[in-house]
């Protein structure tokens, strides 16, 4: 849980610069939609934590592929962990989507597709298998693919 506090006179400019830097992380400045969304959420958290005026900052438009609908209000509630972005890139969300939509694909094929679609992703068939297991544990029906390389059984 984050404690709310007023920044000291020495701390205030640093916090404000950090929030401004987070708000500069946009798609037009080269970030992925997931990174931009994560930066906006962190900026909201800092505004809330340090009891700053959200109107004092220039809030960017929402990213094109945001997991939760961001609002211009920094006091909006956080999205649930099930809808939150995984590390800001959306790798997990894409992997889970492909696991459900492509039952004929192997884990390796899904990992390759994730790596193609998300720049800098280093997804492996093992990590895709982990996402499938996580989905099964949460009650989602997922086709089992077996074998060392994720081939179908």
pLDDT in tens, 30-63: 888 888 888 889 999 888 888 888 888 888 877 6
Contact by Cβ (8 Å): 114, 121: yes
Split at pLDDT 50, 70, 90, the class of 81 is very low
Contact by Cβ (8 Å): 83, 32: no
Task: Give the per-residue pLDDT at 32.
Answer: 86
pLDDT for 83 beyond 80: no
pLDDT for 143 beyond 50: yes
pLDDT for 102 beyond 60: yes
């Amino acid at each position: 849980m984050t404690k709310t506090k007023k920044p000291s006179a020495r701390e205030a400019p640093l916090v404000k610069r950090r929030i401004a830097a987070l708000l500069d992380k946009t798609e037009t400045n080269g970030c992925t939609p997931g990174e931009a969304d994560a930066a906006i959420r962190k900026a909201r958290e800092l505004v809330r934590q340090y009891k700053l005026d959200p109107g004092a900052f220039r809030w960017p438009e929402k990213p094109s592929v945001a997991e939760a609908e961001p609002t211009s209000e920094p006091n909006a509630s956080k999205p649930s962990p099930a809808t939150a972005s995984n590390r800001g890139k959306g790798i997990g969300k894409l992997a889970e989507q492909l696991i459900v939509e492509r039952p004929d694909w192997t884990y390796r094929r899904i990992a390759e597709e994730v790596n193609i679609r998300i720049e800098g992703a280093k997804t492996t068939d093992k990590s895709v298998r982990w996402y499938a297991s996580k989905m099964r544990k949460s009650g989602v029906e997922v086709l089992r693919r077996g074998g060392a390389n994720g081939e179908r059984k």
